[in-house]
Homo-oligomer: A and B are copies of this chain.
Amino acid sequence: MYERKIPLNLNCGLDLIGEVLYGKWKIRLLWFINEGHQRPSELQRKIPDASRRVLNIQLKELEGHDLVTKKIYPVVPPKVEYSLTDFGKTLIPVISVLGQWGDDHAERLRSLILKDS
């Protein structure tokens, strides 16, 4: 793995949630898994801008943080399904709030974001 050089701080709740949720695609992964897209290939289809590699990596991190579980069926070709853990499910309302805010202010945000370079 990568050994960090700048120590992380885990003081407050914001630090903590940041630690498990940062990562460009993690939130979307959780969201789509929750919607029932459990297999890696489906997830890739849902998130075409992410490379296959990063999705794997971030899924593994989510797994390491007990937010998702991975079930491997011993068949060939392999079949894999991810599911949210109970812990992971508690994040759904949180993600929902984030998405809702973005949706509520979509127009405005889009123009604000596009205006600066």
A54 within 8 A of B: no
* CB of A31 to closest CB in B, whole Å: 7
Residue ID in chain B nearest A64 by CB atoms: B116
A72 within 8 A of B: no
Q: Given the interface contacts A101-B91, A101-B94, A105-B90, does A113 sit within 8 Å of B65 by beta carbon?
A: yes
**Interface size range of chain A in the complex:** 35 or more
Copies of this chain, tallied across the complex:
2
User: Among the interface residues A10, A16, A95, which one has the most CB atoms of the partner chain B within 10 A?
Assistant: A16
- Residue from B14, B28, B103 in contact with A98 in the complex, judged by beta carbons closer than 8 Å: B14
Whether A105 pairs with B87 at a CB distance below 8 angstroms is yes
> Which residues of chain A in 87-114 are interfacial with respect to chain B, using CB atoms and an 8 Å cutoff?
87, 90-91, 93-95, 97-106, 108-110, 112-114
Whether B13 pairs with A98 at a CB distance below 8 angstroms is yes
